[in-house]
Amino acid sequence: MSQREQSAVPVVAVVLAAGFGTRFDPNNPKQLVSVGGKPIVCWSIEAFEANPRVTDTVVVVNPQVRHAVERLVDQAGYPKVRMILNGGAERVDSTAAALDALAAAGIPGDAKILIHDAVRPFVAQSSIDGCVDALDRFTAATVAFASTDTVLLTRDLGDVKVVQSVPDRPQTFRAQTPQAFRFSTIRRAYALAAHDPDFHPTDDTRVVVDYLPDEPVAIVAGSETNLKVTTLADMPTAERIAADILTQRR
Amino acid sequence: MSQREQSAVPVVAVVLAAGFGTRFDPNNPKQLVSVGGKPIVCWSIEAFEANPRVTDTVVVVNPQVRHAVERLVDQAGYPKVRMILNGGAERVDSTAAALDALAAAGIPGDAKILIHDAVRPFVAQSSIDGCVDALDRFTAATVAFASTDTVLLTRDLGDVKVVQSVPDRPQTFRAQTPQAFRFSTIRRAYALAAHDPDFHPTDDTRVVVDYLPDEPVAIVAGSETNLKVTTLADMPTAERIAADILTQRR
């Protein structure tokens, strides 16, 4: 338990709920869709509410859903939610908005920041714990799940793609979230990236890997159930996972 | 259609049904489990029976299921199934057994060989066609599906894994099957690999990529529904896909 006592710094969850989800129902943004009778964004916020090591939560929304999310947060009265912020056009813009707001709020550089996609409603408590612990040894960590399929890296050859290489399967992972960083580390990576006009990562981990290559990013064990709800086709699986979780809690 | 007329060579499907499936029910090997009322291995054999461009099928089994598979093939009377062969301990041993049998049967070097995992019962006809077509331009091709998740390549750092690199998402694919080769190409790759004591690939494409690096392997479009049935947890999804296919056929 000594590791836990070391973590007397703020542990801030940033829940990114700004995606517009063009692959989903445009009239009902996916982060507001209910599974197991509860909006997806609420599942995600509650994962951090339930974890005693997380001290604060910031929710990043887009203006179209801001009112709806504010109402959900007010109704539930989540005690850790400190701010609801407007995000930007892309994922990295939303992360950057959260980092700026945290800096303005005077968060210390050694605070632990856990950036989570709201559309991963079923993140395991063990994965959140794993992120907080990993930041005692590393400045960056990401939840990831070992790939059960062989991954192929490709290149373009005229109008077709051909295989460039086949990495060893035990070294291939599928990134999940949370992705976790000491605050000063992710701030520095984003500051460096801001000067690069070609900067369009889909992933916060990649910002650190690309701009701070000397900082190793630790892998934290994810889970098969840490599903990303991307399309309507994901809903039956999401409902099944939600039903399993609600049964276990009973 | 001129492309199709060029393909007057044998097109041989090799259905690998030799896996023992330790992650599945050991008393009921996964290739014999029924989905949509039909054993998984039959779904796979029938995918090639249904494709007019495939001329012959070879089924590779392990001795424990040989009798059961022979009975299923006899009952259904699949006209393209020419041989049921015993496979080996590992996937590559089963492929090698099939290649040796095809050589003994006098299959020409320019024959098109489509190697398919029996536990992918729902392979699309368009993917089979794509393999046959790709072999008019390339000596090797593989069905693969674009990764929707960011892939992380890792390395070991002491007792943990850390991120080594984050490949561009548009160049990351999850390998599926069939994997398709001109017969002389896959024979040559396996002959070279046989001299390498460290040879343990989980994938036939990798044999070509590693041992014949100058032969580009084309990517053929796979599908989300080309599911690999690996564990019992895959069965609800498999049943849903089977039900969808059976509804469409009605």
Q: What is the pLDDT of residues B186-238, one digit of tens each?
A: 999 999 998 888 877 778 999 999 999 999 999 999 999 999 998 888 898 89
Whole-angstrom distance, CA of residue B202 vs CA of residue B181: 16
Q: Which helix (H) or strand (E) holds A4?
A: helix A2-6
Residue A1 lies in a domain: no
Closest to B132 in 3D by CA, of B175, B96, B182: B182
Q: In this structure, is residue B164 part of a structural domain?
A: no
Q: Is residue A31 part of a domain?
A: yes
Q: How many domains does chain A have?
A: 1
Cα dihedral sign, B180-B185-B190-B193: negative
pLDDT of residue A2: 43
pLDDT in tens, chain A (250 residues): 344 445 589 999 999 998 765 566 666 788 899 999 999 999 999 999 999 999 999 999 998 889 999 999 999 999 999 999 999 888 889 999 999 999 999 999 999 999 999 999 999 999 999 999 999 999 999 999 999 889 999 999 999 999 999 999 999 999 999 999 999 999 999 999 988 888 777 789 999 999 999 999 999 999 999 999 988 888 988 999 999 999 988 7
pLDDT for the residue B195: 87
CA atoms A194, A48, A133, A144: torsion sign: negative
Q: Which of B162, B165, B173 sits opposite A218 (nearest CB)?
A: B162
- What is the pLDDT averaged over residues B15-22? 79
- Looking at residue A5, its pLDDT comes to 44
Residues 105-134, chain A, touching B (beta carbon < 8 A): 134
Arithmetic mean of pLDDT over chain B: 92
Put simply, the chain B residues between 228 and 247 with a CB less than 8 A from any chain A CB are 228, 230, 233, 236-237, 240
Q: In this prediction, what percent of chain B has a pLDDT beyond 90?
A: 78
Q: Is the pLDDT of residue B6 over 80?
A: no
Q: Does B205 reach chain A within 8 Å, measured CB to CB?
A: yes
| Mean pLDDT of the region B32-59 | 97
Set of chain B residues whose Cβ sits within 8 Å of the Cβ of A176: 149
Distance CA B102, CA B47 (A): 21
CB B83 within 8 A of CB B59: yes
What pLDDT is recorded for position B1? 39
Does the residue B160 lie in any domain? Answer: no
Please check whether residue A248 lies inside any domain of the structure. Answer: no
How much is the pLDDT for B152? 97
Residues A163, B233: C-beta atoms closer than 8 Å: no
Q: Which pLDDT belongs to residue A74?
A: 96
Q: Any chain B CB within 8 A of the CB of A173? A: yes
Phi (first) and psi of residue A76, to 5 degrees? -80, -25
Note whether A203 contacts B165, CB cutoff 8 Å: no
- Residue among B164, B153, B206, B180 at smallest CA distance from A166: B206
* Shortest distance, CA A104 to any CA of chain B (angstroms): 30
Q: Which residues on chain B are in Cβ contact (under 8 Å) with A216?
A: 157, 162-163
Does the beta carbon of A166 lie under 8 angstroms from any beta carbon of chain B?
yes
CB–CB of A47/A6 below 8 Å? no
Other Cβ atoms closer than 10 A to A53 = 16
Please determine, for residue B2, whether its predicted confidence score (pLDDT) is greater than 60: no
- Rg of chain B in Å (alpha carbons): 18
| The pLDDT of residue A4 | 47
Pairwise CB contact (< 8 Å): B163 & A217? yes
Q: pLDDT band at residue B26, thresholds of 50, 70 and 90? A: low
Residue B157 at interface with chain A, using a CB cutoff of 8 Å: yes
In angstroms, the Cα distances linking A45 to A13, A69, A84, A226, B35 are 9, 11, 12, 14, 38
Mean pLDDT of all residues in B90-108: 94
Query: What's the CA gap between A98 and A88, in Å, rounded?
Result: 10
- At A64 the pLDDT is 87
pLDDT at B197: 82
Mutation target vs A (from B163, B168, B232, B241; most A CBs, 10 A cutoff): B163
Tell me, what CATH number does B30's domain have? Answer: 3.90.550.10
| Mean pLDDT lowest among A239-243, B2-6, B33-37 | B2-6
Number of H helices, E strands in chain A: 8, 11
Q: Give a yes or no: residue A250 inside a domain.
A: no
* Structural domain containing residue A137: 7-243
The pLDDT of residue B5 is 45
Query: Hey, is A77 helix, strand or coil?
Result: coil
CA distance B241 to chain A (A): 11
Residue B22, pLDDT > 90, answer no
Residue B157 within any structural domain of the chain = no
Chain B: closest CA distance from residue A72 (Å): 29
Is residue B239 domain-resident? no
pLDDT of residue A230: 87
- pLDDT at site A203: 82
Residues 50 to 89 of A: which have CB under 8 A from any B CB? none
Mutate to test the interface with A, among B143, B154, B156 (most CBs of A within 10 A): B154
